[in-house]
Chains A and B, each alone.
Chain A
Amino acid sequence: MWESMSLGEIIECASDPYPSMREWKRKSNKKVIGTTFADVPEEVIQAFDMLPTTIMGTHKPLKKAQALLPDNACSLARSNLELVLSYETDLFDGFVLPQVCDTTQHLSDIWRINLKGKYFESYLAPRQTDRESAKYWVRKEIERLIDSLSNFAQRGIKREDLEYSVEVHNENKRLLREIYSFKNDNPSSVSNRELFSMIKLSQQIDKVEFNQTLKKVRDTLKRGTRDGYTDVVLAGITCDPLEIYDLFDEIKLNVVADNLLVGSRYIQGEVDPGEDLIQKLTERHFKRGFFSPIHGSVFAEFQEIKRLYQENNAKAVIYVHIEFCESQEYDLPDLKKMAKEEGIPMHVIETEYQTTSLSHIRTRLQAFFESIRGV
């Protein structure tokens, strides 16, 4: 059901993938395992013939989550909790919840206590990445996840299962990279909204099927123009709601590079081939780019943003700050300072999951880019 989607259908499905996931689950009779940001090795879940899906909030009203969390909890945490408690409870057979910050750590307890009867596993990714012990620990956690899923599924996995899953995931990332690259030169043919909807859906629906759609999209891409577009680098963790990309499209911004989880950081996560696939999955963990909760060096993040800005000859950087994300809030003042010192125009947009009005973002974006373009 996800093999042959039009660009319009991709956008629609990315906005709310859950109805189609329900239908897929009914038809396939397979289990759906929810995960949250970031870095759960989804290849392992898929190897058990279950669907790994990254939960990325809901735009439906909040009913229960507010009573369970502090008022200033990260809006993504609140939105995800609402989704699983009020709207999609029965879709999920279980959850593998990574712990990357205080919010994700404590949220996983709240989910477990409020959703009894579901499969639960924590993925305790290391919150340091520069030492040998981190490598040791990632491997141990992947092995523990495999054991845990084996208990849940009442069966183990063979090497071929994992190999096939890795192949499917790698192909997905290669296809996204090709489309992204094409879009950079032809922004009038593929919009920001379309591209980032494809990346989002890739983390949510069955990739065996969705790769077919991506191949068709790639094969039917038509050359366009970059006239009138301003190239920008997008930085942060995520950019939600997807309607923000419509604003970029509206004012003719071309996102040519990014370091988002629902963006290049996902696409970077290809697993190298090799005999010991668990080792290769472990190594992949350390190949991915900057993610504020687990990487300490904001200077390194800035160097990466600067590299993307310079290599792509971009005109500005747009940094997306998720309100109440502590991690970003500690980084941002220094990041802004570094950008200023280097003369890189950086515009920060404040977002909140379940934001309905984007008019303030539109106004600020327009003003910023009018000054960049010298209008």
Chain B
Amino acid sequence: MSEKPKKELTKSQMLSKKITDEYMDEAFRAKEEGRIICYTTAISPVEILVAHDIIPIYPENHSVANLTAKKGAQMCSYVEGLGYSSHLCAYARCDLAYRATGFTVTRGIPEPDMFLACNAQCFTLTKWFEVLSRRGGGLPLFVFDTPQYIRDKRAREEIVKYCVLQLKELISLLEEVTKRKFDYDRLREVVKYSAEASILYRKFLDMARYIPSPISIFDALIGMAITVYRRGTPQCVEYYKTLCEEIQEKVDKGIGVLPKEKERFRLYWENLPIWFKFSDHARLLGSYGGVILTSLYVHAWSFEFDLNKDPLYTLSENYVSRFSNVTLEDRIDMALDLFQRYSLNGMLMFMNRSCKAVSFAVPTLKDILTKKTGIPALVFESDMGDQRFYSETQIRTRIEAYFETLERLGLAKNPA
């Protein structure tokens, strides 16, 4: 049997691999170089860690690698045997299994010296890090507490002030742990890199507005990795410059994920992805002329840092106002903006049983988005990482029925 030819990597893919390899090499060398490893949440003011030469490690990303490799059921079951409930976050369950068994499809991640949990993303990460902190014999855990960014101008000002105060406390803790003075000039430089990368990242995501779209959400999910773990670095900026150039080339040539005449359903996705169904979903939807273009999740890293403001202030404003920490009304407005800008004509609303923070809003969000756009929604329940809660036949049947409904309502583009 002949071997399947390997697909040649694009320039951005090669760059992504290089940046990731260098990052992990650096992380694994950290202990011998006397550097601190801080586990942190994907949404957290990591710029402060980078500015202080602390290596941020994201256990969520490591879990994603294992869940994408379809190891979720195996790892989650193991942890349930240790007394953890199957209702908990699949990232956490997967990570706790890794701690207990050492099993991973990657080279693993280095052990932490401390933790930074930002609850703008969710509360579960704080609890998960508490477990890890206990296991490490009480390693320092800093909770960057971001109260919900409620719709009240005065309250928002106060919330940001509270966040700034906490960032100062974080800096004091880092100075204490490292016995080194924090360098605010260096922070300004790091925030500048983050700001630049964020603009480019958003530009990349927004290329999904073209018809046909040159990227799907699956490209966005792959493309977001570097901003998640390398923001605040010049490498991150370079990566998104390269990526944008590549996608722009596709736009210029009219190359879409699907050919223009076959792109019939431009879809919104609510929630995190089902990692172990990543490519299957792309193929399945594509066969019906469907392509998921965006979600609020991938936009969570589209920061708008204002370099004219105090860096702690602009970091606070940005991290507290992520989609997962604003009111439901604001989240609806954010989603409607995507519907309009990306000419969306369908929505898949995923009730992710292991991410309650994002899923709580789904029923209400679906009702309001449907009412405001006139587009029906497909709601389905599963788990982002644990295959035991995924029903292949049921989801396939529902997707087929959903596209038929959109067709019947005259919402499909390029009608068959």
A15 in the interface (beta carbon within 8 A): no
Give the shortest distance, in Å, between B271 (CB) and chain A (any CB).
11
Q: Mark B124-157, 1 if CB is under 8 A from A, else 0.
A: 1011101101100010010101011010001100
- A133 and B360 contact, Cβ closer than 8 Å, known pairs A109-B327, A299-B138: no
Q: How large is the interface on B (under 10, 10 to 19, 20 to 34, 35 or more residues)?
A: 35 or more
Verify A113–B364 contact, CB threshold 8 A. yes
Query: Interface-forming stretch among B84-92, B102-110, B210-218, B300-308?
Result: B84-92
Verify B122–A296 contact, CB threshold 8 A. no
Give the shortest distance, in Å, between A132 (CB) and chain B (any CB).
7
Query: Interface-forming stretch among B12-20, B47-55, B162-170, B176-184?
Result: B162-170
B329 in the interface (beta carbon within 8 A): yes
A110 in the interface (beta carbon within 8 A): yes
Verify B147–A99 contact, CB threshold 8 A. yes
Verify B328–A110 contact, CB threshold 8 A. yes
Verify A144–B141 contact, CB threshold 8 A. no
Verify B158–A144 contact, CB threshold 8 A. yes
Verify A70–B351 contact, CB threshold 8 A. yes
Which B residue's beta carbon lies closest to that of A332?
B83
CA of A297 to CA of B119 in the docked complex: distance in angstroms?
17
Verify A127–B123 contact, CB threshold 8 A. yes
Verify B158–A140 contact, CB threshold 8 A. yes
Which B residue's beta carbon lies closest to that of A108?
B148
B82 in the interface (beta carbon within 8 A): yes
Verify B169–A131 contact, CB threshold 8 A. yes
A108 / chain B contacts, CB cutoff of 8 Å: 148
Q: Is the interface of B mostly helix, strand, loop or mixed?
A: helix
- A329 and B353 contact, Cβ closer than 8 Å, known pairs A113-B328, A131-B166: no
Verify B363–A330 contact, CB threshold 8 A. no
Verify A102–B363 contact, CB threshold 8 A. no
Which B residue's beta carbon lies closest to that of A330?
B127
Verify B150–A102 contact, CB threshold 8 A. no
B277 in the interface (beta carbon within 8 A): no
Which B residue's beta carbon lies closest to that of A104?
B123
Verify B364–A127 contact, CB threshold 8 A. no
B154 / chain A contacts, CB cutoff of 8 Å: 144
B362 in the interface (beta carbon within 8 A): yes
Verify B127–A327 contact, CB threshold 8 A. yes
A181 in the interface (beta carbon within 8 A): no
Verify A124–B351 contact, CB threshold 8 A. no
A329 / chain B contacts, CB cutoff of 8 Å: 84-85, 87-88
Q: Residues of B at under 8 Å CB distance from A?
A: 82-85, 87-88, 92, 119, 122-124, 126-128, 130-131, 133-134, 138, 141, 143, 145, 147-148, 150, 154-155, 158-159, 162, 165-166, 169, 327-329, 351, 353, 356-357, 359-364, 368, 381
With A110-B364, A298-B134 given, can you name 8 additional A-B contacts, CB distance below 8 Å? A72-B353, A106-B357, A110-B360, A128-B166, A133-B169, A140-B158, A297-B130, A299-B138
